Structure 1
């Protein structure tokens, strides 16, 4: 009997997030009779989030990285790879890129690195130190995965990766799990966002824009509500803006949740105010849920949202975001019109089957 392809996935932490959600979707759909997966984390994993994986061919390992420089992490990964003997080492984002050195040392047959999105310290790949790191690591990585066109062009033109080693694989969405649902709050217009409350996600700008739009809606006898799904370091700052703006009573900061499809069913409009973004799983999930999407015109957002058709692309500016939200107050028919367009785009262009097939072909290429 042929032995399964052994893949070691290395991530900073396996917890609520778009990158990790994409991994869940991929692992759940790759043939378990062909693959076995090891998820290696630098900083542990969430047991609750890990429950989203429905296959029984996955094992977790934690390298328990210390704060700051922890050179021992290379030795710990070396021992682990010596035991696991993977066919594929797949690291994701800058925090794990150096782990490819260990894969090279252990002669892992296929070494893949994925660029999923930008960090707040590396907006659009502009950090010179990280550029030098990526250029240095070119010799140790066989194949690179760019989720967005922006990331693909960055690898080709800025980092100098050879075209035959760059794979543009867009995220896919489960259009059965995420689908349009009838509104449960017909008396209000519910604006929603799902994601980590981290600086790069820019929820403070969303809060500022919502305060403006909320007062505008009140003057027009419309109740505007905000649902924020997710948690993180910026929660306190977001809450303060909403409290000071006088609208906290119409806001729900739900924290991390596992029932995102149901919660999206309670929204009318989805907003993603990121400073930088790859291919956002939450935008795709919102589109599949039949929601119009208002997103900042950064990174992969411009590949997903068709301006004025499936939502609005706006500048990274609270005033511009508030103006877009006010459009839905004044023209509520736009919600259904753009939501239907978003759902159609999700069905036709962002198939999860196409994403899985692309990764399947890449993993088998070793």
Structure 2
């Protein structure tokens, strides 16, 4: 029987997405002798995505939270935590930050909240109500980390997270899985609609407002108008609440024959290996895992100058940065790659080298385990008792 300390990961919903993918990677890669894991979903989970978890001892719980305040969810979580008796509660983003008090009342010794990005309705973190909640919750957590330097600075300067509770934990990428492939080395993805001679611009991520796929579609339409002689194609891969809206937009612009929106896919590495350029049109981001996966696959990345994207993309070296919600600027950047295969190859190679040097999966897992180790050592082993959340 494994008596390693239990970590409960509290997340809004377990489904296809960057944050969720890296959560599963950390669970799969962290030594079983170090920590056990359970995932608590405030709403629900996607069974297809849950199958990515390779450890048989990981349990998943769904609280089926309804929209709004839902005070009963706090009680349900408290009861669940009392039964699970974890050493660590690790909550993710604003949607789960308010449950720190329930974890304290349930006797969870170590409580951690991670800032992995912002919502589309508050891309710059200026919502007073949201920030007041974040400030109110800081005393209930032992660590409030961020996954980008920009978010970490905002945590400290705007939310007031003290230095001893602040950390920056960068995302990591599996550079063996995401890597460039020689022509013909890997078969094309299933149902891939494009021909070998097509120049495919693509993106991968949840289809939601914060990703602003509408701007990318508009940019692609502008690009085709500028370069009508090139066989340009667009792939937008991912599921989400705006998938049908984006499909309708594509149809309305007459792009059905040149754009592909297949929904959620499990063969992302294979899809990235079939692209030529990667694009990110987000209006807010933490450290963008999808951009790092693209860079590991030796793709140049055109991304918006928001959040942690400029920390990842070296402008003019591994890709290009453009203003958010500016289809004209994105089309201009994409056009530079469309007419220069040499630039695509040079920036793509530089991007992979940057990932290998700065964003390894091994380093990410070690950093998270180090955080858990140090907090558990201070809060549990050394003192042998639960300490005040306000220390």
The normalised TM-score by structure 2 is 0.91
Structure 1 residue 2 displacement after superposition:
8.0
SS at match of 2:262: strand
Q: 1:2 to 1:211 in 2, by over 3 A?
A: closer
Partner of 2:217: 207
CA distance in 2, matches of 1:327, 1:268: 13
SS at match of 2:200: strand
**What is the alpha-carbon root mean square deviation over aligned residues?**
1.3
Structure 1 residue 240 displacement after superposition:
3.4
User: Which digits, 9 at most, give the CA deviation of each residue in 1:250-289, with x for residues without a partner?
Assistant: 1111100111111111100000100000011101110111
CA distance in 1, matches of 2:372, 2:250: 46
Give yes or no for contact 1:35–1:57 (8 Å, CA) kept in 2.
Answer: no
SS at match of 2:335: helix
CA distance in 1, matches of 2:82, 2:297: 44
The normalised TM-score by structure 1 is 0.97
Partner of 2:200: 190
Give yes or no for contact 1:208–1:241 (8 Å, CA) kept in 2.
Answer: no
Structure 1 residue 121 displacement after superposition:
2.2
Instruction: Give ranges in structure 1 of 5+ residues lacking alignment.
Output: none
Give the one of 257, 278, 286 matched to 1:278.
286
Report 1:104-253 matches (<5 A): 104-182=104-182, 185-218=195-228, 221-253=229-261
User: Which digits, 9 at most, give the CA deviation of each residue in 1:313-349, with x for residues without a partner?
Assistant: 1011000000011111222211111110111111111
Structure 1 residue 182 displacement after superposition:
3.2
Give yes or no for contact 1:284–1:304 (8 Å, CA) kept in 2.
Answer: yes
Matched, 1:323 2:327: no
Matched, 1:5 2:13: no
Give the one of 284, 294, 317 matched to 1:309.
317
User: Which digits, 9 at most, give the CA deviation of each residue in 1:202-248, with x for residues without a partner?
Assistant: 00000000011122222xx2100001101223223323332333332
Give yes or no for contact 1:208–1:242 (8 Å, CA) kept in 2.
Answer: no
SS at match of 2:232: strand
SS at match of 1:182: coil
SS at match of 1:248: coil
